[in-house]
Amino acid sequence: MIAVLGLLIGALVGIFLDPTVPAGLQPYLPIAVVAALDALFGGLRALLDGTFNDRVFLVSFLSNVVVAALIVFLGDQLGVGTQLSTAVVVVLGIRIFSNAAAIRRHLFKA
């Protein structure tokens, strides 16, 4: 639970301080946000499954964001940045969808 609390605090601090992101990192932001969403939904589902774990949540969050950004970076270097971004978005999108469906089944039993 500490991890969730920390994330919320961090988000509030982020809103309050509104730090500027270096221009060099701008291209990786959209994918990083989608990856963060995926980790959030995964964590929520694990919470409902009763297997939630702070460390796993944080590690999956961090690695998701870093790997997603890395993939886009590699894609940019290879000249297939947009295609790889699409691939990442598709995979993460499917995961988010099925996690959201599982959460929905948990909450509404439907």
Residues at the site binding another protein, with contacts judged by CB under 8 A:
2-15, 17-21, 26, 29-30, 32-33, 36, 39, 42, 45-46, 49-56, 58-62, 65, 91, 94-96, 98-99, 102
104, amino acid identity: R
Q: How far is the CB of 5 from another protein (least distance, A)?
A: 7
In the complex with another protein, the residue whose CB is nearer, 47 or 76, is: 47
Minimum distance, C-beta of residue 87 to another protein, in the bound complex (Å) = 11
CA pair distance 110, 107, nearest whole angstrom:
8
CA–CA separation, 55 vs 71, rounded Å?
Answer: 24
Q: What's at 35, amino acid-wise?
A: A
